[in-house]
Amino acid sequence: MKNFINLIVAAMLSTALLIVSAKADERELIEMPDDVRVKFLTQMRGMLESVDGMLLALSEGDYDQVSKIADIELGFKHRKWQKMIDDGSSEDEVQAKINAMREELAKPKKGYKKKKNSKSMSRFMPANARAMGRQMHLAASKLSVAAQNTEENPDTAKFQELLAGVQEITAVCTACHSVYKVR
């Protein structure tokens, strides 16, 4: 009887081990100093707030706000735009600069280039993670343009286009989260 119980316990243990190893976290570790990681995760939580804000604005039919959040919080050079606003630039001034940047980016062979030896946390990022970051900025920029081109009371197709635009952004969030972790 005792042997039988031992056998059952052993079987249960090995099943538990199997389940644990099936769920093992095999994501690639991005190493960064503690203070950078805190900043990184704070920014991440800010990005979730941005997505939340865009969904709220969509639900309220405020497409201008969708565009602003996409550009100023999730788009290319978003820190620069945020700083301009903090330093007192008007929203129109900032939007004009963003539109000019978009035109530059749309020109062939003039893609967005990350500065080398940047002091920002991106220097801790593997190239693939940086590429996903760019992908997210690109999706945000596309959504911003779509939101700017949305009239009041859009039809279902237009609204679906905007929702799909938000999902294009969250698809990048989840893709990166499934590949990387920080500790």
Q: What is the contact surface with ligand HEC in residues (CB under 6 A)?
A: 30, 41, 44-45, 47-48, 51, 129, 132-133, 136, 169, 172-173, 176-177, 180-182
Closer by beta carbon to ligand HEC, 27 or else 90:
27
User: Are 105 and 112 a contacting pair, CB within 8 Å?
Assistant: yes
Kindly state the tokens that stand for 109.
């062979």
Nearer to ligand HEC, 53 or 154 (CB): 53
Residue with tokens 């530059």, as numbered in its chain = 104
**Closer Cβ to ligand HEC, 14 or 130, answer by number:** 130
Minimum distance of ligand HEC from residue 15's CB (angstroms): 26
CA–CA gap between residue 78 and residue 76 (Å, rounded): 5
Least distance from C-beta 147 to ligand HEC, angstroms?
16
Least distance CB 42 / ligand HEC (angstroms): 7
Closest distance of CB 44 from ligand HEC, Å: 3
146/54 Cα distance (integer angstroms):
13
> In whole angstroms, what is the distance from residue 40 CA to residue 121 CA?
7
Q: For ligand HEC, which is the closer residue by CB, 21 or 174?
A: 174
Taking CA atoms, 150 is separated from 96, 104, 117, 173, in Å, by 18, 23, 40, 25
Which residue, 2 or 115, has its beta carbon nearer to ligand HEC? 115
- E-strand ranges in the chain read 28-30, 180-182
Tell me how far, at minimum, the Cβ of 138 lies from ligand HEC, in Å: 11
